[in-house]
Amino acid sequence: METQIQISPEKIVLREDSRYIFQPRFVDDERTIVKAIVLFPDGSLREMEAERDDADSPLVRDVFLQYSEAEIEMHTHRERCMIQKMQAVEQRAREDQARREQLDKLFQAKSEALQMEGVKGCKDATITRRIRSAKTVTEVHSLAAYALMMGTEC
């Protein structure tokens, strides 16, 4: 006969060979794969997953012994929110980095163009001013090329 250990009167029912399960949640939209953190007798915690329909999986058995479908849904929702937040943070960090690099390149281009002899000597201050306030590297290069082509006439 199978012995059952009652841990929490309402929810957690463990078999002798059961493991404690934490944060069980569905991985996919179809709710076919279950993932959870499992506490082993040596005290180690491991994240494990299994197909929900796998009748031989001790993980699936323990998850559904210890948690209701609603509780698993709650953990699923919580994790998805967390993942979305993390993705948004990572996306912002990527955009910030790209923006910084773009600005650095633009200022580098301006600085180099304004230090070129042919540009520095340009008598038309509007050209150097336009280089200073240019919005893109292409604009900087085009204006610098114009200044060089015009030589001292510019």
Paired strand residues for 37: 22, 47
Q: Provide the residue type at 117 as one letter.
A: E
C-alpha dihedral sign at 13, 18, 21, 25: negative
Among 42, 125, 152, 153, binds other proteins (CB under 8 A): 125
**Two structure tokens written together for 53:** 């329909």
Determine the distance from the C-alpha atom of residue 95 to the mean position of all C-alpha atoms in its chain, rounded to a whole number: 12
Q: Which residues pair with 36 in a beta bridge?
A: 48
Does the protein bind other proteins through residue 94 (CB under 8 A)?
no
128: contact with other proteins by CB under 8 A: yes
Dist CA 143 CA 5 (whole Å): 80
| Binding residue for other proteins, selected from 51, 94, 132, 151, defined by CB under 8 A | 132
Binding marks (x or -) toward other proteins, 53..92, rule CB under 8 A? --------------------------------x------x
Q: Which residues bind other proteins (CB under 8 A)?
A: 85, 92, 96, 99, 103, 106-107, 110-111, 114-115, 120, 125, 128-129, 132-135
